[in-house]
Structure 1
Amino acid sequence: MSLPDHRRPALRCPAWLAPRDLRLGPLVAASLLGCGAVLDLVLLLLLPALGGSAPGFGWVVLVLLVINGLVCATAPRGSATSRLSVAAGALTAIVACASMWGLLYGELDAGVSLMGLPAVFAASQLRRPLAIALTGLTCLSAVTVLALVAPWTAFRTVDAVMVCGSLTLLCGATLHYVEDTRRLLDRLERLAAVDGLTGLVTRRVLDDALATALTSAGAQTGTALVLVDVDSFKTVNDRYGHPVGDAALQHVGAVLTAAVRSTDAVVSRLGGDELAVLLPGCATDRARARAQDLVLAVRAAPLLLPDGSPLPITVSVGVAHAPTHAPDVRALYAAADGALYAAKRGGRDRSEVAEVAVLS
């Protein structure tokens, strides 16, 4: 008796079987399998004209290529089926290439070209342990083909060493290139996420966190956005020079970070002398109090100049709350910006709260 749908265990895919890229991997696998199916079909159709015959196993391999390719192309991206189909595609490609090479009587040049395809695919799309294992299986398949198509001689030993050596080099070079590229991309992502001067996260990270906070299940108390502007920053730059201005931004960023808890706040540099603090799960009254705390914290912590003298620094702060003052990200920024300019017009070194939105 079959289980009801809601009781059937979900298909799971171990992490080591999953492709490197859950979106691109299945597409590359589908393309490889599709090309393999076309090549296999052409070879099977041409064999009679070349005086040979198309074995039944060749047609079975063709069917496997088509089915596996269709699964790779149509399975929902990120699903267990899609992830497993990529590893299965690599296995199918190894079997198909070995079969086609056997039909070509183990000709050496064809072997390196054919067997190199699944090896490069595995190294570029699958994780290192599985890629190495599949390359080893590819080498074993190549040796098997060489042993089956003709009597084993010293020349066959040389052929086996050349094929396996070439496959190993292909796999190693591809793995090295792919992993170096991945490390470079990861470094670029980190650089894009962190401001180089202050060490705070960038506007992009803040926007992502804000969007998540506004849509999360724990957003009943709302989310507050605090915009912070360093008062008279241009004067600091003009009077003391840009190095001191940079130090002032770093100092203010450090003071803001120390004044909030990293577990429930995100401190960001938006650009220039403007910073922001995101307070998820923060009610309006609490946000107003925390904004004023930020003003007091900066006022109480002057920047020490190289000669040891203190440089007083103050900030103007505008705070807006969702959904009290705005319903979405864009409106929340606009409301907080309006409150910030109200604080500046009111004399700076103070905080202001946005006006309550009037919803039509």
Structure 2
Amino acid sequence: MLVHPSLRARHPRRAARTAAGVLGVGASVLAGFAWFDPATPTVDQRWASWAVALLAAALAACCLRIDPHRSDRLGLLTAAPALGAVLVCVQAWHTGDVSASVQVFLALPVVAAATQLRAGGAGVAVATAVVGDLVLTLHLMPTGAALTDVVFVGTTLAVVAAVLVRLEDAQAADKAELARLAAVDTLTGLVTRRVLDDALATALSSAASAQGTALILVDVDEFKAINDGHGHPVGDDALRHLAAVLARSVREDDAVVSRMGGDELAVLLPGCSADVAATRADDLVNAVRAAPLPLADGTVLPITISVGVAQVPRHAVGLRELYAAADAALYTAKRAGRDRWATAAA
């Protein structure tokens, strides 16, 4: 059985270690109290506490031994904090102790659930703890006092869980935003070099790319002259304009367009032969030449590019070699007069 995503762990491996830790500590505490606490005077009560402690220890071992991702899919990591709350209530039932010092242990599985599981999983832990506390206090206390205790304990657990879940959600959102910023160049909107490297490594290791993988490096001709003659804001506009032209000139589903840094961009073409890559490079040069940048004064700024093309396996055998071959072809195009493309030497 697969559990709903809202009940799953945020990080299964970390959640498994946390569950094991909470259950292991709980087992140790229960075993210690069963041995030393005078509140459990009878042999039966002591054996009951030891049995609960042994069960908790066994659950902790399962959390460590079973693959955490499989445990998460099956709902074991969601069930662990709830089972921890049940164990606390069972131990209190057998010892007849429902004091605040016992009920406070219900916070341990709830905190573990709120920090390791998503909102639904934390809700399951809170609900289990509150129901268990209700059954326990009604069994051992007068009804009025029991309901008062449950209201205070339940409210505290729910508020703590809600605050922790909200903090975890905010932290996850911050991390996702940082990852997005690291993956996207803020000036051009293209992906960064890191994303391109990952995509290139995947393409080179994919058996499906039987035709090979091509890399096109693009450099803006006389970019320094653009900055010096028109100012850096126009230079930024030129890069944004170029990025848009390149993105329009390739199909999004079979190409990755990236800003490498400065005025250098790249186009990755997985599953692309050397001949097709050369045709694409020629198309890019012509597309940029045909799309000058409109300026604020109504004039247009011609932009041209130099392009280097390399392909695995024709020109290189790996990632570093592919970059080196494409870079060498790029400089060949620049030395030949710019506004053109060149392929790497076989």
Q: Shorter-chain-normalised TM-score: which range?
A: over 0.9
Alpha-carbon offset, residue 122 of structure 1: 1.6
Determine which of 24, 39, 43 is the counterpart of 2:33: 43
Which amino acid in structure 1 is aligned with residue 85 of structure 2?
Answer: I
Conserved 8 A contact 2:190-2:259: yes
Conserved 8 A contact 2:8-2:72: no
Which amino acid in structure 2 is aligned with residue 307 of structure 1?
Answer: D
2:122 is aligned to 131
Determine which of 107, 125, 147 is the counterpart of 1:157: 147
Conserved 8 A contact 1:64-1:92: no
Conserved 8 A contact 1:19-1:83: no
SS of the equivalent of 2:287 reads helix
Alpha-carbon offset, residue 304 of structure 1: 0.7
Conserved 8 A contact 1:101-1:114: no
Unaligned 5+ segments in structure 1 are 1-10
Q: 1:192 to 1:280 in 2, by over 3 A?
A: same
CA deviations 1:172-209 (Å, max 9, x no partner) are 11111111111111111111111100001111111111
Determine which of 327, 339, 342 is the counterpart of 2:332: 342
Conserved 8 A contact 2:7-2:119: no
Give the 5 Å matches for 1:6-17. 12=2, 14-17=4-7
CA deviations 1:17-67 (Å, max 9, x no partner) are 431112321121112122112112211211358745544432332222122
Conserved 8 A contact 2:7-2:117: yes
1:60 is aligned to 51
Q: 1:153 to 1:13 in 2, by over 3 A?
A: closer
Determine which of 276, 290, 295 is the counterpart of 2:285: 295
Alpha-carbon offset, residue 153 of structure 1: 4.4
Conserved 8 A contact 1:22-1:83: no
- TM-score between the two structures when normalised by the length of structure 1: 0.90
Which amino acid in structure 1 is aligned with residue 84 of structure 2?
Answer: A
Alpha-carbon offset, residue 82 of structure 1: 7.3
- TM-score between the two structures when normalised by the length of structure 2: 0.93
2:177 is aligned to 187
1:309 is aligned to 299
Determine the C-alpha separation between the residues in 2 that align with 1:153 and 1:308. 83
CA deviations 1:249-281 (Å, max 9, x no partner) are 000000000000001101011111111100010
Alpha-carbon offset, residue 230 of structure 1: 0.7
Conserved 8 A contact 1:201-1:267: yes
Q: 1:331 to 1:77 in 2, by over 3 A?
A: farther
Determine which of 87, 106, 122 is the counterpart of 2:98: 106
Which amino acid in structure 2 is aligned with residue 238 of structure 1?
Answer: D
CA deviations 1:45-93 (Å, max 9, x no partner) are 1135874554443233222212221121122242247753312321221
Unaligned 5+ segments in structure 2 are none
1:78 aligns with 2:101: no
Which amino acid in structure 2 is aligned with residue 141 of structure 1?
Answer: G
Determine the C-alpha separation between the residues in 2 that align with 1:268 and 1:293. 17
Deviates more, 1:94-103 or 1:258-267: 94-103
Determine the C-alpha separation between the residues in 1 that align with 2:75 and 2:248. 46
Which amino acid in structure 2 is aligned with residue 163 of structure 1?
Answer: V
Q: Percent identity?
A: 44
2:322 is aligned to 332
Q: 1:86 to 1:282 in 2, by over 3 A?
A: same
1:224 aligns with 2:214: yes
Conserved 8 A contact 1:227-1:318: yes
2:24 is aligned to 34
Deviates more, 1:127-136 or 1:335-344: 127-136
Conserved 8 A contact 1:72-1:82: no
Alpha-carbon offset, residue 248 of structure 1: 0.3
Determine the C-alpha separation between the residues in 2 that align with 1:109 and 1:49. 12
Deviates more, 1:256-265 or 1:87-96: 87-96
Which amino acid in structure 2 is aligned with residue 173 of structure 1?
Answer: V
Deviates more, 1:251-260 or 1:331-340: 331-340
Deviates more, 1:93-102 or 1:62-71: 93-102
Determine the C-alpha separation between the residues in 2 that align with 1:83 and 1:242. 56
Conserved 8 A contact 2:48-2:91: no
CA deviations 1:311-337 (Å, max 9, x no partner) are 010111111101221121111111111
CA deviations 1:123-178 (Å, max 9, x no partner) are 2222222321321111111112212223x143333222111111111111111111
Conserved 8 A contact 2:326-2:344: yes
1:321 aligns with 2:311: yes
Q: Which has the higher helix share?
A: 2
Conserved 8 A contact 1:226-1:318: yes
